[in-house]
């Protein structure tokens, strides 16, 4: 049985005070959500404060990115995965399409960040997904396959226990245009097949694949009914405790 994961990606929003306030507002609203794992990803500066305040709760804290370098060193502006862990996080998101698009995170960089996250003891949420142009050209599957091959190269079967894939079609992110449950299901089933080919049937069966892209309280239930959708990575609708709690409590 794959336990669903509902993760909120707060992107570059909220001060430390606002992040703590939202996290504290969320806490009682999702306290009974035993059917899924709940994760929130505030900005770097708020991670420690939020993690401290959520200690002992059922909400896990994630960074939105980490350095590709594993050891501390002269890398101005970077934050190591071990430092993310030290701040109280259990997860890190890598390869988000905004990182790929605006900060040139290539598959090779995504792979190094994935390795860094795993080495630091974090669970790594690896994002993949095609642009509208790629979908229209009929290459959605090959894009996902290449991103998985590049971003997850060199992983062993035991590494996969701490890997979560997020399928996020770029055309659905922040656009209000969600993939239909059927479109998402098709890609999730494909991603699972890629794991079966690259690793094993049992690895494919165990890996959790989240959907991301304009997930809202009113579309989460339809997505979660699909057999290969194991949760969601939520952007805009995760910024308010109430709407994110509605998504978490989709059942
Ligand atoms: P969105 O963002 O829910 O605002 O579309 C999703 C994401 O970028 O992870």
Length of the chain in terms of residues written: 251
Q: Which atom of ligand 1 is nearest to the CA of 97?
A: 8
Crossing angle of helices 44-54 and 16-29, in 10° steps, is 40
Q: Which residue is catalytic, options 37, 91, 96, 130?
A: 96
**214 has pLDDT over 90:** yes
**210 has pLDDT over 90:** yes
Distances (CA, A) of 169 to 58, 172, 210, 215: 29, 5, 12, 12
List pocket residues of ligand 1, CB cut-off 6 Å. 9, 168, 173-174, 212-215, 233-237
pLDDT one-digit tens code per residue, 62-104: 999 999 999 999 999 999 999 999 999 999 999 999 999 999 9
What is the pTM assigned to this prediction?
0.98
Alpha-carbon torsion (239, 245, 246, 247), positive or negative: positive
CB 20 within 8 A of CB 53: yes
Determine the Cα–Cα distance for residues 106 and 191; give it in Å rounded to an integer: 19
Q: What is the pLDDT of residue 251?
A: 83
Q: Which atom of ligand 1 is nearest to the CA of 216?
A: 3
pLDDT one-digit tens code per residue, 14-42: 999 999 999 999 999 999 999 999 999 99
Q: What is the pLDDT of residue 135?
A: 94
pLDDT one-digit tens code per residue, 103-155: 999 999 999 999 999 999 999 999 999 999 999 999 999 999 999 999 999 99
The predicted model gives 172-199 an average pLDDT of: 94
DSSP element (H, E) containing 140: helix 140-151
């Amino acid at each position: 049985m794959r336990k669903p994961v509902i993760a909120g990606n707060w992107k570059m929003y909220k001060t430390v005070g606002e992040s703590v306030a939202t996290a504290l507002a969320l806490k009682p609203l999702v306290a009974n959500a035993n059917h899924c794992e709940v994760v929130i990803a505030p900005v770097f500066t708020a991670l420690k404060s939020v993690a401290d305040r959520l200690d002992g709760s059922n909400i896990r804290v994630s960074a939105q990115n980490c350095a590709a370098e594993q050891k501390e060193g002269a890398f101005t502006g970077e934050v190591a995965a071990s430092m993310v862990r030290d701040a109280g996080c259990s997860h890190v998101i890598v390869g988000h399409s905004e990182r790929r698009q605006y900060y040139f995170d290539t598959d090779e960089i995504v792979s190094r960040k994935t390795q860094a996250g795993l080495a630091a003891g974090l669970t790594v949420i690896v994002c993949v997904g095609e642009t509208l142009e790629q979908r229209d050209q009929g290459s959605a599957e090959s894009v996902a396959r290449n991103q998985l091959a590049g971003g997850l190269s060199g992983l062993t079967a035991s590494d996969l226990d701490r890997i979560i894939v997020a399928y996020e079609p770029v055309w659905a992110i922040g656009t209000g245009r969600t993939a239909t449950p059927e479109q998402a299901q098709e890609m999730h089933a494909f991603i699972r097949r890629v794991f079966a080919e690259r690793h094993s049937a049992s690895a494919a069966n165990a890996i959790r694949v989240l959907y991301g892209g304009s997930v809202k309280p009113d579309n989460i239930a339809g997505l979660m009914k699909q057999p290969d959708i194991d949760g969601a990575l939520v952007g805009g609708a995760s910024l308010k405790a109430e709407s994110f709690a509605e998504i978490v409590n989709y059942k």
